[in-house]
């Protein structure tokens, strides 16, 4: 039995707008740590585990590279190989990849006969391997994410695939909000002084504790708009819901629990095409909340879901609702047995159509936390300093001295 949306939706509905009700109760304490840590997981040896990276966007890949290298078998991880599938025709990006694959013998570049997500799946997998599909804008995943996804897939062979507990994803975002993993943040609207402490601003800043508390004139709120095209265009600068300026930060509110209803995430919905998908503001808030949870060592806030008597893996059954597949464990055979896909939307095929046809749902391992930077509808996230913060965290905590991420000229 897996925990499903219908089991808790009534208890976790957000407050009606304008109603003054007390904040949600504090989440329960984490269960006993019966799931083994990374160094206690035993890597399966009777099949290969291959990282399948949908390649593009070098600034994001530069961060992901550190996580991939840390998880290679040569470094004690689970990944036997990493395949970077070229799904771009930008020459400069391909040139970057050519250099990247030379940095490790387990890295491989895969050229497709034609571009497109369907082509990636049909020409990049083999039946006997398990694949950890990772998008190029995954800019954080915890030490146990791959191992947890692999073991949940093995423990639940009736599942079609296992996805990570994604930060910045509609359904999981709704759950994170109601289980207490989201904190109160709003954007600063005035540029900070140039002499601001480097722990709070700059290429080495990532800790939430170094941020000043939000203290702006005017109402404590920020608008969330759904009136936006899906084609990747950005909001006009004079739109009230647009970013205040390039490189701005989001700052913690005083009395976070009391003021959470004044923040963008109060608009979250358990719906694939809702505000969590369309609004960059919701995305910014969940990312800053993750960095706070990392610093405070409170990642248990994301660990909801059903556990078995022998482990506390935390499983959430998507029950055939659409789910983002930015980080997913899946057998090559299950892909090939159902290829070619009926349409160009691989995510809908792999999370809804095929699982429904086979009666094999997608599962989320809630202990496998991964951060997805942005949807095409959230390009404004690049106007925050979040990419710099994730880069700073990776350089300090994940990358080795040999593969430090270079700091762009613009910071």
Query: Comparing C-alpha atoms, which of 275, 248, 251, 277 is closest to residue 264?
Result: 275
In angstroms, rounded to a whole number, what is the distance separating the alpha carbons of residues 411 and 188? 18
Neighbour-count burial of 29, counting CB atoms closer than 10 A to its CB (0-12 exposed, 13-18 middle, 19+ buried)? exposed
Query: Comparing C-alpha atoms, which of 304, 267, 272, 370 is closest to residue 4?
Result: 304
- Say what the pLDDT of residue 169 is: 98
251 with 186: CB under 8 angstroms?
yes
Q: Which two tokens stand for residue 393?
A: 């965290």
Please give the DSSP secondary-structure letter assigned to residue 300.
G
48-64: pLDDT as tens digits: 999 999 998 899 999 99
In angstroms, rounded to a whole number, what is the distance separating the alpha carbons of residues 393 and 60? 13
Q: Which two tokens stand for residue 276?
A: 């969590």
117-134: pLDDT as tens digits: 767 888 889 999 999 999
303 with 366: CB under 8 angstroms?
yes
Q: Report long-range pairs for 228-235 (Cβ below 8 Å, ≥24 apart).
A: 228/278, 228/377, 230/278, 230/376, 230/377, 231/376, 232/376, 232/377, 232/379, 233/379, 234/379, 234/380, 235/380
Q: Which two tokens stand for residue 36?
A: 């083994």
Q: Which two tokens stand for residue 405?
A: 């991420």
347 with 161: CB under 8 angstroms?
no
Q: Which two tokens stand for residue 359?
A: 């009666």
Q: Which two tokens stand for residue 145?
A: 């994410």
213-269: pLDDT as tens digits: 999 888 899 999 888 877 778 999 999 999 999 999 999 999 999 999 999 999 999
- Say what the pLDDT of residue 73 is: 97
- Say what the pLDDT of residue 207 is: 98
List the pLDDT tens digit at each of the 411 positions of the chain. 455 554 444 334 444 344 343 444 455 444 433 434 444 579 999 999 999 999 988 999 999 999 999 999 999 999 999 999 998 888 999 999 999 999 999 999 998 877 667 678 888 899 999 999 999 999 999 999 999 999 999 999 999 999 999 999 999 999 999 999 999 999 999 999 988 999 999 999 999 999 999 998 888 999 998 888 777 789 999 999 999 999 999 999 999 999 999 999 999 999 999 999 999 999 999 999 999 999 999 999 999 987 655 566 899 999 999 999 999 999 999 999 998 888 889 999 999 999 999 999 999 999 999 999 999 999 999 999 999 999 999 999 999 999 999 988 766
80 with 131: CB under 8 angstroms?
no
Q: Report long-range pairs for 26-30 (Cβ below 8 Å, ≥24 apart).
A: 26/180, 27/179, 27/180, 27/181, 27/301, 29/300, 30/300, 30/303
Residues in contact with 218: Cβ distance below 8 Å, sequence separation at least 6, in sequence order: none
Query: Comparing C-alpha atoms, which of 324, 407, 318 is closest to residue 370?
Result: 324
For 183, how many CA atoms within 13 A lie in the half-sphere containing its CB? Answer: 23
Query: Comparing C-alpha atoms, which of 241, 245, 247 is closest to residue 223?
Result: 241
327-331 and 130-135: which strand pairing?
antiparallel
**b/e code 239-262 from CB counts within 10 Å (16+ = b):** eebbbbeebbbbbbbeebeebbbe
- Say what the pLDDT of residue 11 is: 39
Global pTM reads: 0.90
170 with 269: CB under 8 angstroms?
yes
Q: Which two tokens stand for residue 320?
A: 């055939």
């Amino acid at each position: 039995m897996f925990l499903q949306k219908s089991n808790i939706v009534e208890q976790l509905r957000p407050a009606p707008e304008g109603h003054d009700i007390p904040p949600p109760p504090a989440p329960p304490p984490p269960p006993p740590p019966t799931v083994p840590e990374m160094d206690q997981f035993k890597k399966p040896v009777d099949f290969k585990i291959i990282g399948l990276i949908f390649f593009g966007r070098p600034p994001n890949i530069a961060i992901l590279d550190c996580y991939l290298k840390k998880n290679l078998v040569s470094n004690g991880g689970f990944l036997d190989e990493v395949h970077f599938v070229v799904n771009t025709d930008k020459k400069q990006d391909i040139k970057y990849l050519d250099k990247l694959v030379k940095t490790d013998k387990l890295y491989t570049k895969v050229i497709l006969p034609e571009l497109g997500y369907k082509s990636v799946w049909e020409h990049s997998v083999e039946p006997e391997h398990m694949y950890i599909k990772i998008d190029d804008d995954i800019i954080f995943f915890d030490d146990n994410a791959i191992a947890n996804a692999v073991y949940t897939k093995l423990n639940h062979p009736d599942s079609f695939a296992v996805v990570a507990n994604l930060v910045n994803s509609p359904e999981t975002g709704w759950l994170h909000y109601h289980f207490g993993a989201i904190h109160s943040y709003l954007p600063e609207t005035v540029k900070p002084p140039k002499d601001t402490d480097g722990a709070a601003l700059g290429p080495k800043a990532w800790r939430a504790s170094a941020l000043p508390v939000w203290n702006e004139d005017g109402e404590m709120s920020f608008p969330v708009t759904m009136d936006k095209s899906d084609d990747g265009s950005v909001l006009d600068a004079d739109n009230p819901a647009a970013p205040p300026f390039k490189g701005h930060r989001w700052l913690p509110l005083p009395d976070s629990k009391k003021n959470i209803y004044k923040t963008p995430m109060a608009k979250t919905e358990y719906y694939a095409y809702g505000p969590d998908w369309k609004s960059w503001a919701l995305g910014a808030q969940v990312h800053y909340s993750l960095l706070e949870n990392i610093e405070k060592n409170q990642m248990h806030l994301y660990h909801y879901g059903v556990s078995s008597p022998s482990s506390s893996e935390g499983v959430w059954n998507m029950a055939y609702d659409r789910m983002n597949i930015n980080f997913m464990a899946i057998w090559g055979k299950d892909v090939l047995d159902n290829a070619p896909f009926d349409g160009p939307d691989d995510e809908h095929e792999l999370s809804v159509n095929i699982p429904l046809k086979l009666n094999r749902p997608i599962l989320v391992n809630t202990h496998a936390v991964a951060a997805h930077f942005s949807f095409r509808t959230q390009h404004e996230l690049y106007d925050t300093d979040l990419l710099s913060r994730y880069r700073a965290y990776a350089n300090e905590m994940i990358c080795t001295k040999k593969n430090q991420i270079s700091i762009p000229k613009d910071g």
